[in-house]
Structure 1
Amino acid sequence: MDELLRQAIAVLRGMWQRRWLGIIVAWIVGLASVVAVIVIPDKYEASARVYVDTQSILRPLMSGLVTQPNIDQQVNMLSRTLITRPNVEKLIRMADLDLKVQSRSDRESLIEGLMSSLKINNTSRDNIYTITYRDTNPESAKRVVQSLVSIFVESNLGDARKDTESARKFLDKEITQYEKRLEEAEARLKEFKIRNMATQSAEGKDYFARLTAAGALLEQSKLQLREAEQSRDTLKRHIVGDEPSLMPDPAQESIAGISVPELDARIDALQKNLDGLLQRYTDQHPDVVSTRRLVKELEDQKRQEVAARRKAAATNPAASLSGNPAQQQLKLTLSEADANVAALRTRVAEYQTRYNRLAESARMMPQIEAEFAQLNRDYEINKKNYEQLVQRRESASMGSEMENAAGVDFRLIDPPRASPKPVAPNRTLFLPLTLLLALGAGIAATFAASQLRPVFFDARSLRETSGLPLLGTVTLLVDDARKQRERKDMLRFAAACLTLIGAYGAGLLALFLISVRTA
Structure 2
Amino acid sequence: MSDFSLRAILTILFRYRVRVVAAFLLVVAIALFAAFAMTPMYEASASVTIRIGRETVYRPEVGNATPPQIFVEQEQIINTQIQLLQSRDLAERAIAEIGLARLYPDLADEAPEPVPAAEDAVANPAATRATEQAVRQFQQAFWVVPARRSNVVQMGFEHRDPVVARDVVATMIDNFKDKIVEVYGEQNLDFLVQQTQTARQELDEAEQTLAAFREEFRIYDYQAEIDLLLKQRMDIDSNLKASEANAAETERRVQSLSDRLAKLSPNVSQYTETEQRSPALDTAQGRLLELRQRERELLARFQEASPPVSEVRQQIQETESFLGTLRAQGGGRSRVGQNDTYVRTQQLLIEAEAQLAAVRAARVENLAQIETINQRINALSQRDGELKALSLQRDAKEASFTSLQTRLEEARTLSALDREKIVSIGVVTPPAASDRPVRPNRTLYLMLGLIVGVISGIGTGLLSGYLSQRLTTPEQAEAVLGLPVLASLPLQKA
The higher radius of gyration belongs to 1
Give the structure with the higher percent helix: 1
Q: TM-score, normalised by structure 1?
A: 0.40
